[in-house]
Amino acid sequence: MRKIEHIGIAVKDLKAANETYAKLFNSPPYKLETVESEAVSTSFFRIGETKIELLEGTSDESAISKYIAKRGEGIHHIAYDVEDIVSERERLISEGFQAIGEVKTGADNKLVCFFHPKSANGVLIELCQERSKFPF
């Protein structure tokens, strides 16, 4: 792992949250995106080298909507930038981390995969790799 890529925050109302965080950071989000396959709308703010991703579920069945219904708004995951997502995923599985699904396309031109919070002291872990750097 090379760095924290972003911190994901689950929100009920993306528009209202964007207004709040724009005031906090004194800057609007640099990107808005909907990921249909995950039923989520996102926005990204840049703070130095780190990004903050706000996530709003677009259906009651989305993972974000279910998370908010169970736990409320707040930090949802920490994402780490990796050079080779496939080998890093395999390494973590061999170390006993419980993968959630396979490598897939995520927001912000990334390939992503997740590891269950039970594997990491209650924190959902996301690995990210730039799509342009994917080996195949």
56, 58, 64, 68: CA torsion to nearest 10:
80
**Mean predicted confidence (pLDDT) in 94-105:** 96
Q: Mean pLDDT across the chain, nearest whole number? A: 94
Residue 123: its pLDDT value, please?
Answer: 94
Which candidate, 32, 45, 36, places its Cα nearest to that of 105? 36
pTM comes to: 0.90
Residue 68: its pLDDT value, please?
Answer: 97
User: Do residues 29 and 15 make contact, with C-beta atoms less than 8 angstroms apart?
Assistant: no
Residue 134: its pLDDT value, please?
Answer: 58
Residue 28: its pLDDT value, please?
Answer: 97
1 — pLDDT class (breaks 50, 70, 90): confident
Kindly tell me if the per-residue pLDDT of 127 is higher than 80: yes
Residue 135: its pLDDT value, please?
Answer: 56
User: Do residues 42 and 58 make contact, with C-beta atoms less than 8 angstroms apart?
Assistant: no
Burial class (CB in 10 A: 0-12, 13-18, 19+), 54: buried
